[in-house]
Structure 1
Amino acid sequence: MKFTLSWLKDHLDTGADAATVAETLTRIGLEVEGVDNPAEALKPFTVARVLTAERHPQADKLQVLTVDTGDGGQPLQVVCGAPNARAGLVGVFGGPGTYVPGSDFTLKKAAIRGVESNGMMCSARELQLGEDHDGIIELPADAPVGTSFADYAGLDDAVFDVAITPNRQDCMGVRGIARDLAAAGLGKLKPLDVPSIEGSFDNPVEIRVEDSEGCPAFFGRTIRGLTNGASPEWMQRRLKAAGQRPISALVDITNYVMLDLGRPAHAYDLNELKGAVSARRAADGEKVLALNEKEYVLDGTMTVIADEAQVHDIGGIMGGEHSGVSAVTTGTLLEIAYFTPDNIARTGQKLQLTSDARSRFERGVDPAFLDDGLAILTGHVLEICGGEASRVTRAGQPPLEERSVRFDPDRTRDLGGMDVPVDEQKAILERLGFRIEGDQAFVPSWRRDVIGTADLVEEVTRIVGYDRIPSAPLPRAEGVARATATRSQMVERKVRRAAAARGLDEAINWSFIGKDDADLFGGASHVVANPISEDMKYMRPSMIPGLAAAARRNADRGASSIRLFEVGRRYMADAERPTVGIMLAGDKAPRSWLVAKGADFDAFDAKAEVLALLDAAGAPVGNLQLGMGAGDTWHPGRSATLSLGKNVLAAFGELHPRIERALEVPAGTVAAEIYLDAIPAARSSERARVAFAPPALQAISRDFAFIVPAGLAADSLVRAIRGADKALITDARLFDRFEGTSGLSLAVEVTLQPVDKSFTDAEIGEVSKKVIAAAEKLGARLRS
């Protein structure tokens, strides 16, 4: 919601400056996202008069001007290409050193076709005051030369950008914001000027309400004999400040009333209407070409405004192209209606159509403001466009049931944490429009969000100021506090800390991805109803696309070694799956003497990270089984899974070449996904650690080298050896791989731990036989 300070002061009698207004708005819950003053950029520009204008000696389309800048010095020579530049013209001048915001350059003395130029006479586009670039700005002949153009044009007017929360429908207009500021003591709310316009003839257009559920009330009147030219300069200036593009007087007036009073309205071209106009349900498959030049297919749940020939308006959201007013419009039907918020929201979501009107109607506009809103709208049209107004036609009845909630001043202390005198509470609520009678507070028609006593407490505390709530410590129970985090939360914390400790950088990506990326990983099961963009429409089935995009961005910005991880969710058909994604790319160790410079990451690097994070998460790493190949997403010969039985805990390795090409990941990229929800919970819930008891006797190790079949996985060999004697063998690890004329050789170090006494040679020999026997069962033989 954007508006200017002068606009606000039309409703609020205050002498507060922009900074005070901004601070107060944020303090009472209306967050100011920005305050901008266009005059700041235009301060160097002054009013100047062209004294002479002569043709440029080297260019037919250029003129050499002498310009009086009003500074008391000699006139300046300026080369100008504007066709309207002439002697006697008063315009806007920018001297050397002045930054031109519309053209994004700084003026300096320059020779143009051999003639010196000292600055420029400016157009509206160059000062970002409009789109006109056909000529320079022309000011009245009596404009004071030498004065600041921003001051002369009244541009010194701060523009506020306020974020309105969905519950504050009353602040979707400047008057509602002024009411809040008045309640906060920043000034006094001015009375609203509602003209009394009876009308001189009966409305020739019959208005009906056939869908009282979607549109309970439709008020309207016609105005004939008008001229739909340009709106006044003051109105255009305010609309531009609010982000609106001035179009024509009728359109600008309806937009202005919407922004000023939070009351959407619509103007139809009277000559394009055929017969009676009604608010009705659309027929299934009925179509309408909206003002945004897009055609929408409607269904029977949607409310439309239609005549006897066709649909003219998607009720409360957007008007139709066919009956929109134009420069040749001489008669109009003005519409002020009340549309049911829930119906507007559903229709907008189905059609994926947003508008300023929808944002107000779906929040809930003031149902008691139809007559006054139509009178104000009519007054603006008659004043600006002329014409003659009909009497008002009122079809239907808006929901005007008076609501009240219990007023209990003590609840402000109990719920709000502050002591506010009863009289002050009443005064605040009355300034906000409430009526207090005994223990009942009657809710104003524009506050649909107030439904209980707690809402009254919120109104009082926000106006008094949340910063005035005294700090108070929370009560603490006796004894040691127990952990409140769930097991899943604790696992994620441990994994995140372990990953950071291993030198990985955390990435936080969107959970939404594009269709093409989702299809690479089996497709998305969930589609976002209101996506930020088409590239963020599908809930991710994998962590890899987001990490790939992050890796690309890092590589494009010169990162030589990329080590990323992300803890998040995959969105599968049956549930959200907590997952850790890992991506390694670039130079494996650009600053380490331990690894050759330029060495790429490989699948074993990804495996090492996965095992470390699984161990941190509490997975039984020693019991994990290695499975070759991780699925269609992964490289068939350079990827694997780690599992417990059929329960897959992680997949890692290189991505499939087609995935790599599609995601455009850097060369030498490896990745992994750890499925946190697949990690089994510990059997015991005890939190106490087992006391450390080091063995009394020293462990010994023995090395075994086996010639193995080419297809035998090293993990299978190590697991078989570890299980040869579970009582004495405490560890087994692969430490060498050699491929020669005799075949593939794998060397395994086996650790033996004596318990009661040291091993004898015979006992070691027996264990060695068990190790060899276990390996032979897999087709391996001891290397000679």
Structure 2
Amino acid sequence: MKFSLSWLKRHLETEAPLEEILGALNSIGLEVEGVEDRGAALAPFRIARVVEAAQHPNADRLRALTVDDGSGTLLSVVCGAPNARTGMKGVLGLPGAFVPGTGITLKVGEIRGVKSEGMMCSTRELGLGDDHEGIIDLPDDAPVGVPYVTWAGLDDPVVEISITPNRGDALAIRGIARDLAAAGLGTLKPFAPDKVPGVYPSPLRWVVEDAEACPWVLGRAVRGLRNGASPKWLQDRLVAIGQRPINALVDITNFFTYDLGRPLHVFDAKKVTGDTLFLRHGRTGESYLALNGKQIAVTPEDLVIADSAAVESLAGIMGGEQSGSDENTTEVFIECALFDPVRIALSGRRHELRSDARQRFERGIDPALLPDALEAATAMVIELCGGEASEITGAGAEPAWQRQASLRFERIAGLGGADVAPDAAVGILERLGFGVVARDAEKVTVSVPSWRNDVAGSGALAQAPGLPADRARAAAEGCAAVEPECDLLEEVLRITGLNRIPPASLPVSSPVPPPSLTPKQARAALARRTLAARGMLDCVSFGFLDHKVAALFGDTPDALRLENPIAADLDQMRPTAVASLALAAARNIARGYPDLALSELGAAYRGIAPEGQLAVAAGLRTGETPRHWAVPARAVDAMDAKGDALAVLLALGVPMAALSVTADAPEAVPMGFYHPGRSGVVRQGPRTVLATFGELHPKLREALSLTGPAVAFEVFLDAIPEPKRRKKSAPDLPAFQPLRRDFAFLVDAAVPAENLARAARGADRALITEVALFDRYAGDRLPEGKVSLALEVTLQPRERSLTDAEIEAVAAKIVAAVGKATGATLRG
């Protein structure tokens, strides 16, 4: 929100300097974003008269000027402007002045043998425009010696403040002035516009088809006017805050948008078809050409202003060019309406239209201001453009916005932390426009002014237009969530000065700070690092995708379908993070990058309940393994995915001896997407599924254009049991070296190698610390249906070195245990 100091003083009677005003704005919560003070930068430049303009003796394109700057001493100035002439008045920069348009600092010099003691400046050199054809040519009545910025009205600083979403009243310069007056920086000037009598019936009338979207609308016509450029004072004010002057009628509406926070719109009455303006919903297929030059296709959810033939405006957001005013306009119809903030916000987002009107309507405007604003706008139209006004026509009625709120004085110190006397607190509320209804020693009850839609309360209101929907609903239901006392407390503290509230440290709950990460967060971070260490690229993707793609990976219940997706192909919560990785891999493969290793820590959605959202560490490999000088490249297979999954589980502290692998991955995942013969499930016990892995199903790869091999895995982080907290004990460091013995077993090919390892480990748990499979052989020398599995068994003696007899005894126990459990025999 921008405003100039002179514009502020239109509403605020104050002698406070700019620095004090800026400090007060920050103190009361209207944070200053910046100040543009052109007057300070151009202060050294003054109005001067050219006494004589003679041809430069040594240059054809230069002139030697004798200049009077009002100091009583004539100056010599060399100038190259073609319009420099005797008797003209312009803007003179003296030595020491910084020229903003050129970035130079003036000094006395000599140009082609002629002394130059200053510079006659152009508009561009002063940073006031792009004109550089000649020096500034001022009218004859410009006073010589007077600072140029003072005469031109440029000594008017422009302040920009940030406005919080709840403070719609602060989007009006009058609202800012009211806050400053309440803070003691002056007196708020009264605003009571005289009524403009209507001398003829309004040629247009209103018909409102949705009273909730537009509860009240007023309008009146002005005929016999002449539209043209607005006066300089109005143009200067609009230009100062970054607005572009268009014509008098449009500039007037822009003026009141900022001055009172009251958006208006003027229709060229002669361009309106029929005698009725309708406030109705848009219809399918309707569109209009907006003032920004874009064709807007309205929807049935939009509120529009239409005549008998077509849509003329998107209500409360942007008017249309068809009925806009121009230099030929002689009769206008002024619209002044009240719109529902939520509908304005939704329509603005839907069409990506941003305007000053939308910004104010969606934050809520003063519902009682309509008649006075219309009178003030009518008076300015007649003053600047002439003409005569019609009678006012309207539809609907002023809504019941009246409500009350109470403040207990002890809450100011108890909750607000500031020491403010009751009389001072009541005075602040009164200066802000709150009316005292009742007061005693403990509390005060006030009536809330119409322009403070952000202050909730009890009374007629709960549906006052402009009150945020959630607060209005809570107020209507008597909900405890509405705290009007806190709203009043905030006003007292704000105007007293937020910087005056003494700082207080939060209580320290523990001398030792808690861990920055929860166990669940730490587990996810460790899983991510583990996968990165295995060469996988960490991905971050959306948690939703096209429901047709999602159906390839799992169930797609309607409960997990998005009602308002950000894109048409992102309308279903994904059943697994593998789906997102597979789509990413397909895009890379299509661009010539087939060898991939991708991972993601994300969510998989199986239902709407909290337990239906699974935390998953997922990964996907495609193509070939990375090339290495010692190991030839090969196609990825299910064992690569199994290794990734087991590496994550190991890093998270899951004991490997407690795990088992089963070949039922398709059954373990809804509508399984794994290859039924090349996949598996990692379990801890018979029921707890910790991970799944395997090759992707050929049909799935074909559907997603995943050429070549592709394997994936999922580790279900929430299924991993929390590690038990145990006291740290001394490390187990045996004094004797371990022994390793190899065993090669002949076993049926269908028997999992894990069964052999588990049986060998259980043969003597006191001595055997590790069993690892290091070779698998199937060939012509073995019987049909048989394979050779080689195990390395580690024996760790504790009390003494083992004798050969003891080692042979343990070996015999291993062979016997494996044979009993799996039917395997020791190869000769």
Which residue of 2 is the match for residue 430 of structure 1?
430
Q: Which entry has the higher C-alpha Rg, 1 or 2? A: 2
Question: 1:565–1:126: structure 2 CA closer, same or farther, 3 Å change rule?
Answer: farther
Tell me the SS of whatever aligns to 2:297.
Answer: strand
Which residue among 732, 742, 745 is the counterpart of 1:694? 732
Question: 1:91–1:519: structure 2 CA closer, same or farther, 3 Å change rule?
Answer: farther
Measured in 2, the distance between the counterparts of 1:233 and 1:570 equals 64
Tell me the SS of whatever aligns to 1:281.
Answer: strand
Measured in 1, the distance between the counterparts of 2:598 and 2:95 equals 50
- Confirm whether residue 446 of structure 1 aligns to residue 475 of structure 2: no
- Confirm whether residue 761 of structure 1 aligns to residue 802 of structure 2: no
Which residue of 2 is the match for residue 82 of structure 1?
none
Deviations, residues 628-679 of structure 1 (Å, cap 9, x unaligned) = 9999xx999xx9999548956598999xxxx9xx9xxxxxxx9999866544
Where do 1:661-680 residues align within 5 Å? 677-680=717-720
Deviations, residues 67-92 of structure 1 (Å, cap 9, x unaligned) = 759694541446xxxxxx52337667
Which residue of 2 is the match for residue 724 of structure 1?
760
Which residue among 471, 475, 491 is the counterpart of 2:520? 491
Which residue of 1 is the match for residue 298 of structure 2?
297
Which residue of 2 is the match for residue 219 of structure 1?
218
Measured in 2, the distance between the counterparts of 1:569 and 1:201 equals 68
Letter of the structure 2 residue corresponding to residue 161 of structure 1: E
Which residue of 1 is the match for residue 61 of structure 2?
64
- Confirm whether residue 185 of structure 1 aligns to residue 184 of structure 2: yes
User: Normalized against structure 2, the TM-score is what?
Assistant: 0.67
Measured in 1, the distance between the counterparts of 2:383 and 2:502 equals 53
Give yes or no for contact 2:664–2:681 (8 Å, CA) kept in 1: no
Measured in 2, the distance between the counterparts of 1:754 and 1:258 equals 90
Measured in 1, the distance between the counterparts of 2:680 and 2:169 equals 57
Letter of the structure 1 residue corresponding to residue 488 of structure 2: L
Where do 1:394-543 residues align within 5 Å? 394-438=394-438, 439-451=444-456, 452-471=484-503, 489-493=518-522, 495-496=524-525
Measured in 2, the distance between the counterparts of 1:501 and 1:397 equals 67
Measured in 2, the distance between the counterparts of 1:511 and 1:403 equals 48
Where do 1:95-114 residues align within 5 Å? none
Question: 1:277–1:773: structure 2 CA closer, same or farther, 3 Å change rule?
Answer: farther
Measured in 1, the distance between the counterparts of 2:40 and 2:417 equals 42
Tell me the SS of whatever aligns to 1:380.
Answer: helix
Give yes or no for contact 2:614–2:718 (8 Å, CA) kept in 1: no
Question: 1:206–1:454: structure 2 CA closer, same or farther, 3 Å change rule?
Answer: same
Give yes or no for contact 1:400–1:445 (8 Å, CA) kept in 2: no
Give yes or no for contact 1:91–1:136 (8 Å, CA) kept in 2: no
Give yes or no for contact 1:268–1:325 (8 Å, CA) kept in 2: yes
Give yes or no for contact 1:579–1:673 (8 Å, CA) kept in 2: no
Tell me the SS of whatever aligns to 1:256.
Answer: helix
Deviations, residues 302-351 of structure 1 (Å, cap 9, x unaligned) = 43222222222222222223211122212110011111223333444444
Which residue of 2 is the match for residue 590 of structure 1?
none
Deviations, residues 548-585 of structure 1 (Å, cap 9, x unaligned) = 99xxxxxxxxxxxxx9999776889857665679999x
Which residue of 1 is the match for residue 84 of structure 2?
87
Which residue of 1 is the match for residue 475 of structure 2?
none
Which residue of 2 is the match for residue 140 of structure 1?
138
Deviation at 1:269, TM superposition (A): 0.7
Give yes or no for contact 1:615–1:621 (8 Å, CA) kept in 2: yes
Larger displacement relative to structure 2 (323-332 or 156-165): 156-165
Tell me the SS of whatever aligns to 1:208.
Answer: strand
Deviation at 1:390, TM superposition (A): 2.1
Deviations, residues 448-476 of structure 1 (Å, cap 9, x unaligned) = 22122221112112222344444556678
Question: 1:169–1:415: structure 2 CA closer, same or farther, 3 Å change rule?
Answer: same
Which residue of 1 is the match for residue 381 of structure 2?
381
Measured in 2, the distance between the counterparts of 1:339 and 1:125 equals 44
Where do 1:329-408 residues align within 5 Å? 329-408=329-408
Which residue among 69, 75, 79 is the counterpart of 2:78? 75
Measured in 1, the distance between the counterparts of 2:571 and 2:373 equals 39
Question: 1:74–1:325: structure 2 CA closer, same or farther, 3 Å change rule?
Answer: closer
Which residue of 1 is the match for residue 795 of structure 2?
752
- Confirm whether residue 287 of structure 1 aligns to residue 297 of structure 2: no
Question: 1:17–1:538: structure 2 CA closer, same or farther, 3 Å change rule?
Answer: farther
Deviations, residues 74-122 of structure 1 (Å, cap 9, x unaligned) = 41446xxxxxx5233766789999999889x88999xxxx9x9x99988
Letter of the structure 1 residue corresponding to residue 449 of structure 2: P
Tell me the SS of whatever aligns to 2:169.
Answer: helix
- Confirm whether residue 260 of structure 1 aligns to residue 259 of structure 2: yes
Question: 1:736–1:195: structure 2 CA closer, same or farther, 3 Å change rule?
Answer: farther
Tell me the SS of whatever aligns to 1:198.
Answer: coil
Give yes or no for contact 2:690–2:720 (8 Å, CA) kept in 1: no
Which residue of 1 is the match for residue 269 of structure 2?
270
Letter of the structure 1 residue corresponding to residue 769 of structure 2: T
- Confirm whether residue 325 of structure 1 aligns to residue 361 of structure 2: no
Which residue of 2 is the match for residue 9 of structure 1?
9
Where do 1:636-647 residues align within 5 Å? 644=683, 647=689
Measured in 2, the distance between the counterparts of 1:671 and 1:264 equals 61
Measured in 2, the distance between the counterparts of 1:144 and 1:705 equals 111
Measured in 1, the distance between the counterparts of 2:158 and 2:773 equals 70
Where do 1:307-326 residues align within 5 Å? 307-326=307-326
Measured in 1, the distance between the counterparts of 2:163 and 2:418 equals 25
Which residue among 666, 681, 684 is the counterpart of 2:721? 681
Aligned length: 713
Which residue of 2 is the match for residue 588 of structure 1?
none
Cα RMSD (Å) of the superposition?
A: 6.3
Letter of the structure 2 residue corresponding to residue 86 of structure 1: N
Gaps of 5+ in 2: 70-74, 439-443, 457-483, 585-596, 622-628, 631-635, 705-709, 782-786
Question: 1:406–1:394: structure 2 CA closer, same or farther, 3 Å change rule?
Answer: same
Tell me the SS of whatever aligns to 1:427.
Answer: helix
Deviation at 1:23, TM superposition (A): 3.8
Letter of the structure 2 residue corresponding to residue 245 of structure 1: R
Question: 1:77–1:137: structure 2 CA closer, same or farther, 3 Å change rule?
Answer: closer
Gaps of 5+ in 1: 58-62, 79-84, 550-562, 585-594, 597-601, 663-669
Give yes or no for contact 1:579–1:676 (8 Å, CA) kept in 2: yes
